[in-house]
Structure 1
């Protein structure tokens, strides 16, 4: 029996939801042509890759994350170490969407897609809804990984500072342990839409921080500047904490170090010290901010 390729399956999803896209170059609306490409009215063309994602960057952009970083994060996520966080974010979405209307959710800075995949799975397990999940990241390598996940999601290589979507198309924007662009988030959120931002809290991976940043000003962490910046752009309607300990097998210590930017730029001596300690537990500590756009206008262009 003939089996459709992943590209054709995902292209059909792009086509079904093509009204959400706008050209990142000229801001015109886009259409899927022949299940092959996203094309705008000015003929700017972006081909759908065989893996089922689309690259909407006009030029390549380098990032600090590489294939190994994404492999480590996926392994860490698959082992269930983010599950309490996924549960908390999923409950926020379910509690703020009570109607039977379709809902769109954007993960801005989705990396290799495991956060969005797991949150979508948790929602569908508890309270199935007509949910379109869209993930974007500036890393092509990350989106390639993401495209191997949930077949009903849309994955795009894109810049959060120039999101390739029409205005007011998303009920929820997730921004999990990732940089943000609040001007774009404000534009993309529908009326009464929410941005859900997850930032590290004071004790996040403190066991690593105490060694990697020993006797430096980074040995203790504060997210106060990040929260203040969020408050300038959104009405903070709620802020919750998610804090728990996770057990580490010896096989997860190296992936943990490879996954977190905490280890970037630190000395090999301190990395080796952590490996030799054979940590059995680490602290996961997050602050979850829920924001509503201030004075959202109703007449945004496209």
Structure 2
């Protein structure tokens, strides 16, 4: 059972301690565990909307799609590219923007099968994503929170994973241990290109979502992965659409054309970047 240890108060950054089903900070702020065991550490004042992040419907669509294992090759690419020498007998992972927990679950299962003890924390701004994740695996600390202000103390994790999420690099650096690893996974130029050609009258030039040069990190490995997968029903196609921004960005005509499809073969094109946190020099006076 998850202990929900090593968490900080999102209001004053004080350490949280657990008393039965409540987390408390020394200054009197309290946070109740949900029935499924997750904790909500996203204060009202930090929300930009009433229900931030993915909606209940988007989460359900993503869960249905991912559980069909179309993206399992991404899990395998993460494991095969993991920098040599960076895996020890025990490792603490933060999945920052974990969604409904698919990637963290699959990675932990494979790492555990190698005899590695994995302590896992999954954080997402969507309460619906964390609710779904908390039903998937009870051995993870599932947290509703924001990458912009991670409710964890400094140097808490050996690795931070951000797969198709919204990275906040100064926060990732803060919660990583010295020499800790950061993995960023983003879509490549040809990701879902076959579907995008149906949805849009023109395909825009590819632009990376972030630069490869980061001030607090050294890039140690960059890798591209590409594979194809088949969707053989309109329901599967709509599940994929509903879990992506395309459901909102595509034109009416594009969405209508996609609704006429009963099968499609798609390209998954992703980029993996592994970084190591730089050790900051301390100036002695």
Matches within 5 A, 1:129-140: 129-140=116-127
Q: Tell me, which stretches of 5 or more residues in structure 1 are unaligned?
A: 1-8
**CA displacement at 1:93 relative to structure 2:** 4.1
From 75, 82, 87, the equivalent of 2:64 is 75
CA contact (8 A) 2:223 2:273 kept: yes
The alignment status of 1:45 with 2:30, answered yes or no, reads yes
* Separation in 2, partners of 1:153, 1:94: 24
* Separation in 1, partners of 2:121, 2:207: 27
* Separation in 1, partners of 2:214, 2:279: 13
1:55 is aligned to: 40
* Separation in 2, partners of 1:148, 1:297: 43
**CA displacement at 1:232 relative to structure 2:** 4.3
**CA displacement at 1:211 relative to structure 2:** 2.3
The 1:93/1:48 distance shift into structure 2, 3 A limit, reads: farther
Q: CA offsets, 1:151-179, max 9 Å, x none?
A: 21110001111111010110110000011
**CA displacement at 1:265 relative to structure 2:** 3.1
CA contact (8 A) 2:178 2:279 kept: no
The alignment status of 1:294 with 2:278, answered yes or no, reads yes
CA contact (8 A) 1:87 1:122 kept: no
Matches within 5 A, 1:23-172: 23-33=9-19, 35-59=20-44, 60=47, 61=49, 62-63=51-52, 65-93=54-82, 95-100=84-89, 102-125=90-113, 127-172=114-159
User: What is the RMSD computed on CA atoms of the aligned residues?
Assistant: 2.0
The alignment status of 1:241 with 2:231, answered yes or no, reads no
* Equivalent position SS for 1:264: helix
The 1:87/1:38 distance shift into structure 2, 3 A limit, reads: same
Q: Could you say which structure has the higher helix fraction?
A: 1
The 1:245/1:30 distance shift into structure 2, 3 A limit, reads: same
Q: CA offsets, 1:237-279, max 9 Å, x none?
A: 1101111000111131110111111221322321120221334
* Separation in 2, partners of 1:77, 1:252: 10
The 1:64/1:272 distance shift into structure 2, 3 A limit, reads: farther
* Equivalent position SS for 2:250: coil
* Separation in 2, partners of 1:49, 1:166: 22
Matches within 5 A, 1:171-186: 171-186=158-173
1:6 is aligned to: none
Q: CA offsets, 1:56-81, max 9 Å, x none?
A: 11115433521111111111111111
Matches within 5 A, 1:174-253: 174-215=161-202, 219-224=203-208, 226-228=210-212, 231-250=214-233, 251-253=235-237
1:4 is aligned to: none
Q: Structure 1 length as normaliser, TM-score?
A: 0.86
The 1:96/1:134 distance shift into structure 2, 3 A limit, reads: farther
* Separation in 1, partners of 2:198, 2:271: 23
Worse-superposed segment, 132-141 or 287-296:
287-296
The 1:208/1:232 distance shift into structure 2, 3 A limit, reads: farther
Q: Tell me, which stretches of 5 or more residues in structure 2 are unaligned?
A: none
* Separation in 2, partners of 1:233, 1:105: 19
